[in-house]
Amino acid sequence: MGLSIVQRIIAGFVLMLLLLILLGVISTFKIRGINDGLSEVTDRATPLVMAVAGLKEALQESNRWVLEFRTSEDANELPQFSNQFKSQQARFRQLSQEMDKLTSSGESQSQFQEVLQATNQFYNEADKVLTQHGEWVNTLVQRRELEIAFIRLEDTYQWAADLLLQQSSGQRSMRNKAELITSGIARDLKNIRRADAKTDLNELEKVLSKDIEIARKRLERVLVAEDVKARYVANLNRLQELALGQKGLLATMRKAQQLENALITQNHQVDASLSNSLAKLDEMAKYAGDIAQQSRIQADAAVSSANVLIMMVSAISAAVALVIGFTTTRSIQKPLQKINHELAYMAQGDMTRRINYQTRCEFGALSRSIDILADKTGELLSQINAGSRHLVDEASRSAEISERTMARVQEQKSQTDQVAAAITELEVSANEVARSTDGAKDEVDRADAEAKEGRQKVASTRRITEQLATDMEEAVGITHKLGEFSNNIGSILDVIRGIAEQTNLLALNAAIEAARAGDAGRGFAVVADEVRALATRTQTSTEEIQHMIENLQQSSKQVVEVMGRSQGQTRVCVEQTREMDVALQSIADRMTAIKEMADQVAHAAQEQILVSQSVAHHVTGIAEVAHETEREARESANSSEVLADLAAKQQQLIAHFKV
């Protein structure tokens, strides 16, 4: 039974799929073996190596803080270093618990127990070092405090010794005894201050104790004041207590030496236990590395065998693929060549060609479908050719109609443009009239304002002139009164002149009578002379005043005449001012009427402008519609031409096909 091309391809792919499944099964089993080896490395060996590294790091960090603690002599820093050491110790214990879970086998568990024993010994020794070093540092602190107190006491003792020597300097023998007492103790104090790790403190204590005892005995034979002896003895007692007491300086220095020697031994033990612990951890790391190496070898073997099997299956798959490809290609190539040959003729426009490939495979069905498509395409091309001829005719008629429409639209556009131009000129003229009317209105407003202002000024002038006429009448009256007053003054002067003449006569009579009286009337004669002289001056002054009053009366008459003439002119001016006010009022009334007329003209001009603008707007809209109609007509004409060209080209294209 013959297989179709699709069936052949399916059979080939099924066979390839089976080979791929076989390849997958082989790869799965081999990868599982590789995975087991990798799991041994990742789940056991690698965590074991990392755990050993973590333990080693924690151990070295612990040792570093032990070294910081051992090298520090500051008591304030020791608690911090101790806390850091305890923190690392806790971290080491936590890592040990985690590593205990990884060492389930016998050999790894035994090695881990050896590591724990070595590290426990290290931490025990380290705790001892911390304790002893802390005690040693506290002892050093006490020693420094005692040394400071000792230096102060030494100064006090030296002052007491100098006082003793000074008090005993009167006699040479006493001076020598005092020097023997103080010199030995002074030497001992210097030796204490110079003491180091090599100094024999026991010997130094014996010498100082003996010298103090000798000083006490010899002091009794020194003849000095009792208070000086008492002061010296008190310093000796304090010195003995500070240097030789159970908690004195020498005892503290001895304790520091002992602790320092013990620390040296303990430090060696710590270093030895650290080296042992690190060696055990290195052995543990080597054991983990051996496990990883063994797992890697097994994984390499599994990879090699997997590569061989995969290559074999791949070679079989390649051979099957070549066979399937060759047979499938042979079954596809022949019908494709025949179909391609006939399709080449069809592509050149010969739609009368047919394939006629009669088989039961897919290419037979394809050739039948192509023949049916060629039949349908030929019929379609015939119909399109007929439609193209009709389309060319319709496109030609549409182009002619579009050309006539465009000509009419152009004529309408030209007339609309002329109307728009006329409306625009009318609007410009209306604007010019409006501007002229506004200018005339403004001039009328200004003239009206100036007329009102002139009328106000004339009214003010009339008031001033009327006030001036009133003032002139009052001035004339006052001038008349001044003449009357001048006449009255003349009458008074006549009286004064008569009094002066009478006084002069009386003075002359008095002088005559004084001359008759002789020496008795001499004083009266002097008074009479003075009175006569006064009367003479009064008469003279009266004549001068009379002359002045006559001048004044003449001037008053002239003033009265001038005032009379001015009063007449003022009356004439008032009358003219009243006439001018009436004339200006008439002008103001005419200007108001002109202003109202100008407002009406301006309003009418404004309405004319608005109407012109509205008409211009509508005409502009009509012009725009005309432009748009012209553009659409032109586009319609162009579209008709393009449609005609496309129809012609379509006919040319269809002419290439043979049906």
Same domain for 388 and 279:
no
d(CA 647, CA 377): 19
Measured in whole angstroms, the distance separating CA 626 from the mean position of its chain's CA atoms is: 60
Whether 239 maps to a domain, the answer reads no
pLDDT of residue 204: 79
Whether 494 maps to a domain, the answer reads yes
CA dihedral of residues 432, 435, 440, 444 (deg, nearest 10): 170
Same domain for 103 and 38:
yes
> Helix 249-347 crosses helix 5-39 at what angle (to 10 degrees)?
170
d(CA 545, CA 520): 39
Q: Reduced to 3 states, what is the DSSP secondary structure of residue 658? A: strand
DSSP code of residue 355: -
Same domain for 302 and 373:
no
d(CA 36, CA 436): 112
Same domain for 497 and 637:
yes
195 backbone dihedrals φ, ψ, rounded to 5°: -65, 140
Other beta carbons within 10 Å of 469: 19
> Helix 106-167 crosses helix 226-244 at what angle (to 10 degrees)?
170
Whether 417 maps to a domain, the answer reads yes
Same domain for 563 and 427:
yes
Tokens of 455: 């009328």
Other beta carbons within 10 Å of 190: 11
Q: What is the CA radius of gyration of the chain?
A: 76
Whether 289 maps to a domain, the answer reads yes
Question: Taken in order 366, 371, 377, 380, is the CA torsion positive or negative?
Answer: negative
Q: What residues of the chain score a pLDDT lower than 50?
A: 1
Q: Residue 269: CB partners within 8 Å, gap ≥ 6?
A: 125
Whether 551 maps to a domain, the answer reads yes
Whether 491 maps to a domain, the answer reads yes
Same domain for 147 and 46:
yes
Using CA atoms, how far residue 116 sits from 95, 111, 127, 459, 598, in Å, is 11, 9, 16, 134, 125
Same domain for 307 and 369:
no
Same domain for 387 and 258:
no
Q: Residue 131: CB partners within 8 Å, gap ≥ 6?
A: none
Using CA atoms, how far residue 455 sits from 444, 448, 451, 561, 586, in Å, is 16, 10, 6, 33, 10
pLDDT of residue 129: 83
Whether 633 maps to a domain, the answer reads yes
Same domain for 547 and 465:
yes
The CATH number of the domain holding residue 563 is 1.10.287.950
d(CA 117, CA 110): 11
350 backbone dihedrals φ, ψ, rounded to 5°: -90, 95
Tokens 């005995």, located at residue: 217
Tell me the residue length of the chain: 659
3-class secondary structure per residue, 292-308: HHHHHHHHHHHHHHHHH
Count up the domains in the chain and report the number: 2
Tokens 């040319």, located at residue: 652
Using CA atoms, how far residue 80 sits from 66, 83, 87, 116, in Å, is 11, 5, 11, 26
CB 224 within 8 A of CB 167: yes
Tally the C-alpha atoms within 13 A of residue 284's C-alpha that lie toward its C-beta.
Answer: 33
Whether 197 maps to a domain, the answer reads no
Same domain for 402 and 301:
no
Same domain for 468 and 611:
yes
Q: Residue 563: CB partners within 8 Å, gap ≥ 6?
A: 472, 475, 476, 479
d(CA 298, CA 103): 21
Q: What is the largest CA-CA distance in the chain?
A: 214
Model pTM score: 0.37
Kindly report, residue by residue over 564-583, the tens digit of the pLDDT: 776 677 777 767 777 777 77
pLDDT of residue 1: 47
d(CA 12, CA 5): 11
Beta bridge partners of 658: 350
Write 206-212 long-range contacts (CB < 8 A, 24+). 208/243, 208/244, 208/250, 209/240, 209/244, 211/184, 211/185, 212/185, 212/236, 212/239, 212/240, 212/244
Beta bridge partners of 350: 658
Tokens of 53: 């590294």
Query: Of 120, 133, 140, 130, which Cα lies nearest the Cα of 82?
Result: 130
Domain of 55, in residue numbers: 5-160+244-313
Same domain for 459 and 600:
yes
Dihedral class, residue 354 (left if φ above 0, else alpha if ψ from -120 to 50, else beta)? beta
Q: Reduced to 3 states, what is the DSSP secondary structure of residue 350? A: strand
